[in-house]
Amino acid sequence: MLGPYFTKKDKTLGYRGNNIFGELDNVQAGTYTLEEAEKRVLSFSSEKYWGAIARINHQINMSSNLFFGEMKALFTLLPMTTRMISSPGAVYGREAISYTTDVCPISLEWFDLPNKAFLSESSQIYLELSVLQHQVDHVYSIYNSFRKENVDASHLSEFHHIEYEGAVNQAVNKDIITNFLFRVIQDLLKYNEADLSIFLSQERLIQLDEISRSKKITELTFEEALKTLHEDTKDDIYNKFTLENFGSWEEVRLTEIYGGFLAISEFPLLEVPFYHAELKGRERRVANNTDYIWPGYRETIGSGQRVGTLDQLREKAEVFNLPEDDYACYLQSRTLENYRETSGFGVGWERVIHGLLEMPYIWSAVQFPRTNVTLKP
């Protein structure tokens, strides 16, 4: 199966290696060090694979812009400083929410204003507002995102998002995601096969070609995912309908069980970002959202339909304890005559590179990784 990782019974992850890096028994034990950061620029000269990564990144950028251009999505200039963070559960909602996947944003002083500014975690809220413009149906952005979380095998403190928002429902949004994902892979195989071959065996390239041509993605609900994990492990923690026990090991294991790309939907409503709409007609309160898991790896794309009415948004605002003054324009958008419900997605660029090239660590696939350890180089 494609992907860098495999699961072990002790719930650690092993690394199977690629053409450059050897196998690792426990990839989660790896650490990004100051010494490695200080040697990074020297490695640009000594390690030829960095040039291949540069060309692959360039093609991803080209393919993304061409794809969105063909569907008449407009590239949108957006701020990276804000008071409207897209994941407020970690800041404002702690008292009302027992568990959340939201992470803390990075804050900074902004001139003489009394409140701190936040560095953007995602462009999603501003992309939603951009669809309000006259004769604008689809928008996208490619920007830096920041999250106050420590570096590990698959997390950076600063990374790049390819994000889309459109006046479409989640079903159409999922079709766009599938076409985008496999278009990028096919373009890389067409234009960058030699670069990919530095990292991947011929067998791997054939598998990548076959799966991208078939566009096969196995879909299941989060409840079905938990049931599968319980049947596989007999661990009763998966009987609890929560994301609290659902992490990297679980994501990789599910791709092993189902044998490829996964699309997992209907997560607990109050454990995912507040802007996701509720999917009606379900016994549990679940979000109309879907995460896409790269084979043998992790989530690389998050998506969902947005809360559509002011009443529903006010309910979410109360639960997440949002400062109404900061989010006033977002709430106001639901009262406008030309407002249309939207859906969208965000692609973690570095995670795509990490999974695609089957590298051991995410910082191994990034020229200038930004982490809590250092700002070098």
First-to-last alpha carbon distance for the chain, in angstroms, is 35
Label residue 134 left, alpha or beta by phi (over 0 means left) and psi (-120 to 50 means alpha): beta
Work out whether strand 138-146 and strand 158-166 pair parallel, antiparallel, or are unpaired.
antiparallel
Cα 329 from Cα 191, distance rounded (Å): 43
Cβ burial of 200 (10 Å; 0-12, 13-18, 19+) is buried
Residues in the chain: 377
Answer for the pair 60, 184: CB distance below 8 angstroms, yes or no. Answer: yes
Instruction: Write out residues in the chain with pLDDT < 70, as ranges.
Output: 89-102
* pTM of structure: 0.96
User: 298-325 burial by CB neighbour count: b if 16+ within 10 A, else e?
Assistant: bbbbbbbbbbbeeeebeebbebbebeee
| DSSP 3-state of 233 | helix
How confident is the model at residue 275, as a pLDDT? Answer: 94
Quote the Cα angle for 274-170-303, to 5°: 50
pLDDT tens digit string along 272-315? Answer: 999 999 999 999 999 999 999 999 999 999 999 999 999 999 99
Bond prior to 377 in cis (omega within 30° of 0) = yes
How confident is the model at residue 89, as a pLDDT? Answer: 66
